[in-house]
Amino acid sequence: MSAHNPGKAADRRVTEAKKPFDWMTDDQFHNLQLLAQNYEWFMEMFERMSKDGREMAWRNLCEGDLGEAAPLPDKMDEILTSLQRLCIIRAVRPDRIMQASSLLIQSVLGKKFVSDGTIDWPMALTQCRNKTPILLLYNYECEAVEKVFTSLSTKRGIGTVVFNITSADDEPKLRVLLQKTVSAESLSVGLAEFKDGMTLSGADGKPVSKSTSWTALRFMLSEIIYGGHISNSYDQQTLNAIVDYWASPLAVKKDF
């Protein structure tokens, strides 16, 4: 879009113009004035606004229930770009800017960017191997998803683990479902100490003291799961939930 030079004499015709229609609000007309002052492509359209046969088209644009979808006067939709049309809609219908933006995205990028995406689950499961991790994030109705996965795991004999990462208000924020991880040897690296009870004994063969160091436990779990030190806050919350579930709720306390 080319900017209009404010030094030209045409600006006076815009700034001194009177509102052509009584039903048009002052804000709508003022926004159109600003648009004509700054962009040459709208100058001629602004000057022809009060000509005969154009009032109904402008009224549908300014007052219609679906103003963002109303055609522009003088068939300007065939001349202006989608972004230029959005500028006009924004000037006269700021209350419909979200709908107008959706139409712009749909016309430029395609319908799939403004519609709810659907996942072909049979195809996704076919393309995934038994060692491929799948992460599902749901904002609502997560109970139904959990029921589907637990039912599927029961029928196929696949173990499913669900971790709830909760906030202060105890609302579930994230569910991680890990399926058939025991069968994946590549995911079992570092788990030998948990599988072999003798490894958890002290050097003298006696059981290890119950006063396990939280730092040591955290380091061991981080090595097993991530293979290194955890610095991300969200990963730390996930690790705390895992320790709380598998070890003890007191394990996340500093004095444990």
* pTM score of the predicted model: 0.46
Q: What is the pLDDT of residues 20-35, one digit of tens each?
A: 888 999 999 999 999 9
Least confident of 33-42, 138-147, 189-198: 189-198
> For the chain, what percent of residues have pLDDT higher than 90?
10
> What is the residue-averaged pLDDT of the chain?
72
Which residue in the block uniquely carries the two structure tokens 């003022």? Answer: 30
Per-residue b/e over 10-20, b at no fewer than 16 CB within 10 Å? bbeebeebebe
Residue 123 three-state SS: helix
Q: Report pLDDT for 115.
A: 74
Residue 197 three-state SS: helix
Report whether pLDDT(144) > 80: no
The per-residue DSSP string of 61-77 comes to HHH-TTGGGSPPGGGGG
- What confidence category does residue 89 fall into, taking pLDDT thresholds of 50, 70 and 90? very high
Q: How many residues does the chain have?
A: 256
Q: Where are the domains of the chain?
A: 10-113, 119-187, 189-256
222/69: higher pLDDT: 69
